[in-house]
Each structure stands twice: as structure tokens, then as C-alpha cells.
Structure 1
Amino acid sequence: MTTYTLAGLSRYPRFPLLHETTPIERLARLEQHLGPALNGVQLYVKRDDHMRVGGGGNKLRKLEFLLGQALADGADTVITVGGLQSNHARLTAAAAALAGLQCELVLTRQVPRGDADYEHSGNVLLDELFGARVHALPGSVHGLSWANERAATLRAQGHKVAVLPTGGSTPLGSLGYAVCAQEIAQQSQQMGLTLSQVIVPNGSAGTHAGLSAGFAALGLNASLVRSHAVLAEAAVSRQRTWELAQQALALLGSEASIALEEIDVDGAQRGAGYGMPTAAMLDAVRLLARTQGLLLDPVYSGKAFAGMLADVAAGRYAPGQAILFVMTGGAPGLYAYREAFATPSL
């Protein structure tokens, strides 16, 4: 039996947020529902929504490293940026509360909506419950620049501030998903499972990058990962993912390399843009909820799951192949999309 271990991880401080390996489960009821249309493909899900802090989600893996470094540097305040309904912002607020750090969120209106559900429900409600100071700004504002200016003000007042970019998708943050790749390799071996594909959404690129870097460093194939772009167009997401993956490999001290051609990003599910609902996303969210009792989110995992279903329907996978969807959390965002789910389709 192969031992899958990323030795390079041990040199980086971590603030524990996961507590345990997230489970891999078979989507048996969904398989039964799809029947012959599934063409014998096996569907599995890794429950990265199944975490104990802040409602769960993939950003916690990144925050283990980002907050670990912030605490090691003596920070007393963390500032991060994102869209108004950012999952990363919500989880940064929750993790900062657990770590005893002050948290400020710089949230820009990236989605053209101003209704009460979007402005005050979902993640925005939770940000405030977790004690974060929220700066809600127009979409024309460059969030990271504004955050750096705010950090300078706080530093002048004597604070030690860590600024985290969108999604926590830095090379260091991406190591959180190198850890996930290690978990998947270990779990699939224990289950006697050979995976043909690992599927994720691609927003700020850190999740895909970390997985590809982790698999490459373990001697596996970086192209095992396929992502569905939900923020930038596919070509931009692919380039950003590749750059982050190489930087994460360097942090791991790995001699492995990843070619741009190994970064598989599909842009067919993006729709009109970030945070904009699609009919396929709405159908995918309803389908998984009604067959498995599991909640996808409307911005990231809903579109990626729709992409996976489209790939299966198009015959991308052969009968008997097993594919793994990484559930990246974000369910609180559903409440901000109440109106979209109130109608059968767009």
C-alpha cells in the first residue's frame, strides 16, 4: 500500500479549523434517480461542506494556513475582501472569532443586485453575527487596494494587520487543498476506489491549484482535477490556476512540474457572470437536494455540479468510471437567492 504524505507541509504554521478528515460518500440515491442516463458512471462526493466552524466550506482549508501565518506574525486584526455574499468573508469572520482576532471585511457589490435578500440575508447576516466589521462598497471600488489602505490606517494606530486577498487564494492558502489532495489519495486507496476525475468550481483558483499541486507532489496526475469557471472566463482561470499551482509546488519543496495543458478548466457553466443564476445551476441544486438531502450553493458548487452532470450526459466518462465532486460549501448563500428559486426556471 502506497503512503501518501506531503512532507513539505510541516514547515508552515497552521491554525486548526477542520478537526478531522472530511468524508467521501457515494451519491447512491442520485445514481438511482439518473438510472440509465448515468451510463454506469459512479458518483462520489467529498464533504468539504462538512466542517464545524462557520457553516463549513473550502475556504477553511486555506484559512488554516493563512491564519496560522497571521498568528505567527503576531497579527491582532485580519482584513479580507470579496463580493457582498462572499463565502470566504463569512468563514474568515468565523475563523477570526475562534482565533481571537479582530476581523474587517471589504465587500464590493460585484453582482448587479440591490434587493433586501442579497443585501442583508445569507452570508451578510452571518458576517455580522460573527462580529466582523463590514465595509460594503460599490462594485467600482478595487477591494484589495481599499483593504490595504484600511490596513495602513490601523497599523498607524498600533495594530498588526494581515490582509488576505479574494478567496484566500494565495500560494500559501492553496496549500490547504494540497492537504485535501493528500486526503483524497489516502481515502480512495483505503476504499479501493480508482478515481477518474476530481471536480471543483473555480472562482479565485486556489482550490483547483492546490489540488493539482498536491496530486503532482504525491506523484499522481495534476490533470485528475477538472474545474468549472464561475468568476473569470475559462482561459483567465486556467492561467491563474496554473500559476498558483506552480507556486504551491515551490512552497511544498516539490520537484514535480505541471504543464499549462494539465490544468483543465471548463467555462460552459459560467452563464452571464459571477453570481448570476443559470437554469442548469437551479436544476442541479434542486436535484441534489431532492435526491440526497445535500445543499449546493448558487454561485460556486451549483454551477460546477451542473457542469459535472452535463459532462456525464455528454459521455465524457466511460461506464464503471468513478468521479468525485468536492462539495465546497456555501449553502448560506442560498438565502440570498430566494427569488431565483421561487420560479421553476429562468
Structure 2
Amino acid sequence: MNLAKYPRRRYTSYKTPIEHLERLSKLLGGPNIYMKRDDLLGLAGGGNKTRKLEFLMAEALEQGADTIITCGAVQSNHCRLTIGAAVKEGLKAQIIMEERIEGSYDRNATGNNFIYHLLGVEDVHVVPGGSDMPNELEKLAEKLRAEGRKPYIVQGGGSNELGCLGYISCAQEINEQLFEMGLNIDKICCVSGSSSMHVGLLVGTKGLNMNIPIQGVSVGKKEPIQGDKVKELADKVTEIFGMPEISREEIVVDDNYIGESYGAPTKEMVEAIQMVAREEGIILDAVYTGKFMAAIIGMIREGKFKKDENILLLNSGSGYNIFSYEDILKEEVYTK
């Protein structure tokens, strides 16, 4: 896979570390848990979307864009980082917020919402949950074009074929690090949401013949829908590289820890955030990595990993949005 032929902006000048979560591993009685700290990526507070934006922003600049537009749920990490990338490149940014939980948008909220405005987002548009987001993005782009501007659309989560290159390159980075560390990993675990991270890891590890299975954890959709979504994007990416396709059987998604819906808190998420903070000093976010870690802890307790296995978790996001969940979290935090 020759990634060098794709234009790329570099927002992180180092490999994100792989840490052994020794205390957490001991507390849970195995397996040996390692974490790839993509919450320490560059741009505004870090998170996995930075890797995707390196390729997407390069295309935007090649096309002469002056405004970046994207979308996400209320408190979206992706929107925060996309605005940050636009700022870094001297471009304007507008975002569309999808209210997936009715009444959840608050213009004066803290967390990522505050960071949007701190970074100088030009405008925030709010639409109801279930809206056709690609259509909403195109409508906004048409409005800006009518004003004589040159918008570039970054799809939700940066999830398209180009965005997947971010995690194909991450697979290469992981491969190099594991060799340098002399560490054999039995399974890589990641969030499966907008799906480009999941797809990038699947394609990247397969292309490198790493023979490490990828365990996805859904934070929004049940397995049949999420698995098919991953498969659809994976087919597009493997076709680009002329690779054998990713079979549906290779796409593994756990959907047992979603809760009521995307973004809706769960008691398992609260427990996971507190446990990782107090055992490892790592702050997880309340939408993605909190539910992801709740699933990993749950699967360990259910015996779905062998005690002596080495598993690598992708920490895909920073914890800014945790401040918008204070009311849910602080009762546990202040009493234990």
C-alpha cells in the first residue's frame, strides 16, 4: 500500500505511545491490556479524527477551499478537531449539529461546545436527530457557494475512503511499534462508530499481513447495521488498493454496551471512566471511549478474552465532552 502518493498535512510529529495498563490489567485479573494513546494526537485536544483530517485537509487545500464544513452529534469530538484543523490552515469553519437526543443542544454548554467557540467557529447550525446529514451538508455548501465562497465538505467522522487512510497509516505505525517493543498482540480493539477507524485498521493490518483480529465496539448501532456499514466502506477502500476484500466474517462488532442510544449515558460507562481515571490516570470521554471501555471491561468479566492474552485498545478520543456529563458523573465521583 503506497500511501505516499496521497497528499497529507502532518498535525502530529510523533508516534502516539503504546502504554501497558498494568494496574487495570491486575485489577481485572487479565488479560494484559495495552493502550494506543491516540487521545494524544495533535490539533485541538487530540483524538482519532486528527489522523483522518491529515488527508482530508490536504485535499481541501488542493481544491482551493476557504471554508470547511462538517457535522456531528452534540458535543462532537470530530467537529472540535475539524475546526482546529481549519484554524491551523487559516480557513473558516462551520458545523451542523445533529440533535440525536431531543433538546440536547445548548449553545452555552461547556465541553466540546465551548471549545468550538473558543476556536472561533464561524457558525453552528442545528438540525433534528435523524436528519439526512449528507443532504444538510450539501445544502449548506450550496448556500456558501452562492455567496462566492469555496466550501469543502468533511463527512461526519471524516469517514470516507480518504479518511480511512489515517488508520491505514496508523496500522503501519502500530506494526513498527510492536516490533520495536518486542510485543506480540493477540487482538486490537477499537470503537466502531462512523467506521473509518475500524475499516482503516482492518485494511491496514491485512495489507501488512499482521494477522491480528480487530474487535470493534459499537457506540450507536446494532451489529447487523454497523457491521454492514463497515463492510460497505471496506469494500470501497480495498478496491482502491487492489486488495482482496474484507470478508463479513472478519468484521466483528460488539453491540451490548450502547445503552438507550448514541450519546445516552450508561452506568457501565460511568464505572469505566472512573476506573480508568483512578487506576491509570487517563481521562476517557463520555460518548466513545467511556462506552468502549465499558464494553472491554464487560467482555473481560464475561471471559471473552484469555487471561494471558495481550490486547491493544485504541483510545480514540479526548475527554473534553466529559464536562457536559458532570451531573451524571459527579455523584459517583464525589462519593467514592
SS of 2:234's equivalent in the other structure is helix
The one-letter code sitting in structure 1 at the alignment partner of 2:216 is S
Q: Report what 2:303 is aligned to.
A: 315
Deviation at 1:113, TM superposition (A): 4.2
Q: Residues 88, 115 of structure 1: CA spacing in aligned structure 2 closer, same or farther, 3 A cutoff?
A: closer
Q: Residues 41, 107 of structure 1: CA spacing in aligned structure 2 closer, same or farther, 3 A cutoff?
A: same
- Measured in 1, the distance between the counterparts of 2:42 and 2:245 equals 34
The one-letter code sitting in structure 2 at the alignment partner of 1:18 is T
- Asked if 2 retains the 8 angstrom alpha-carbon contact of 1:46 and 1:327, the reply is yes
Matched, 1:334 2:302: no
Q: Report what 2:239 is aligned to.
A: 250
SS of 2:40's equivalent in the other structure is coil
- Asked if 1 retains the 8 angstrom alpha-carbon contact of 2:41 and 2:48, the reply is no
Q: Report what 1:47 is aligned to.
A: 37
Deviation at 1:254, TM superposition (A): 4.0
The one-letter code sitting in structure 1 at the alignment partner of 2:17 is P
- Asked if 2 retains the 8 angstrom alpha-carbon contact of 1:80 and 1:165, the reply is yes
The one-letter code sitting in structure 2 at the alignment partner of 1:301 is T
> Which of 249, 260, 263 is residue 248 of structure 2 equivalent to?
260
TM-score, with structure 1 as normaliser: 0.92
The one-letter code sitting in structure 2 at the alignment partner of 1:135 is H
- Measured in 1, the distance between the counterparts of 2:239 and 2:116 equals 34
Structure 1 runs of 4+ off > 6 angstroms?
none
- Measured in 2, the distance between the counterparts of 1:114 and 1:171 equals 31
- Measured in 1, the distance between the counterparts of 2:253 and 2:108 equals 31
Deviation at 1:330, TM superposition (A): 3.3
- Measured in 2, the distance between the counterparts of 1:261 and 1:195 equals 20
SS of 1:195's equivalent in the other structure is coil
Aligned pairs for 1:62-141 (under 5 A) are 62-114=52-104, 120-132=109-121, 133-139=123-129, 141=131
The one-letter code sitting in structure 1 at the alignment partner of 2:92 is Q
TM-score, with structure 2 as normaliser: 0.94
Q: Report what 2:6 is aligned to.
A: 12
Matched, 1:158 2:161: no
Aligned pairs for 1:215-226 (under 5 A) are 215-221=205-211, 224-226=213-215
Q: Report what 1:344 is aligned to.
A: 332
Q: Report what 1:277 is aligned to.
A: 265
Structure 1: state its 5+ residue gaps. 1-5
SS of 2:71's equivalent in the other structure is strand
Matched, 1:202 2:186: no
- Measured in 2, the distance between the counterparts of 1:328 and 1:119 equals 26
Matched, 1:24 2:18: yes
Q: Residues 257, 219 of structure 1: CA spacing in aligned structure 2 closer, same or farther, 3 A cutoff?
A: farther
Q: Which deviations, in whole Å up to 9, do the C-alpha atoms of 1:170-208 show, x marking residues without a partner?
A: 111011011111111111111111111111111111110
Q: Report what 1:3 is aligned to.
A: none
SS of 2:293's equivalent in the other structure is helix
- Asked if 2 retains the 8 angstrom alpha-carbon contact of 1:229 and 1:266, the reply is yes
Deviation at 1:140, TM superposition (A): 5.1
Percent same amino acid at aligned positions?
A: 36
- Measured in 2, the distance between the counterparts of 1:159 and 1:52 equals 28
- Measured in 1, the distance between the counterparts of 2:12 and 2:61 equals 17
- Measured in 1, the distance between the counterparts of 2:234 and 2:165 equals 9
- Measured in 1, the distance between the counterparts of 2:158 and 2:104 equals 26
Q: Report what 1:183 is aligned to.
A: 173
Q: Residues 19, 318 of structure 1: CA spacing in aligned structure 2 closer, same or farther, 3 A cutoff?
A: same
Q: Report what 2:183 is aligned to.
A: 193
Deviation at 1:111, TM superposition (A): 1.9
- Measured in 1, the distance between the counterparts of 2:303 and 2:40 equals 30
SS of 2:39's equivalent in the other structure is coil
- Measured in 2, the distance between the counterparts of 1:16 and 1:67 equals 10
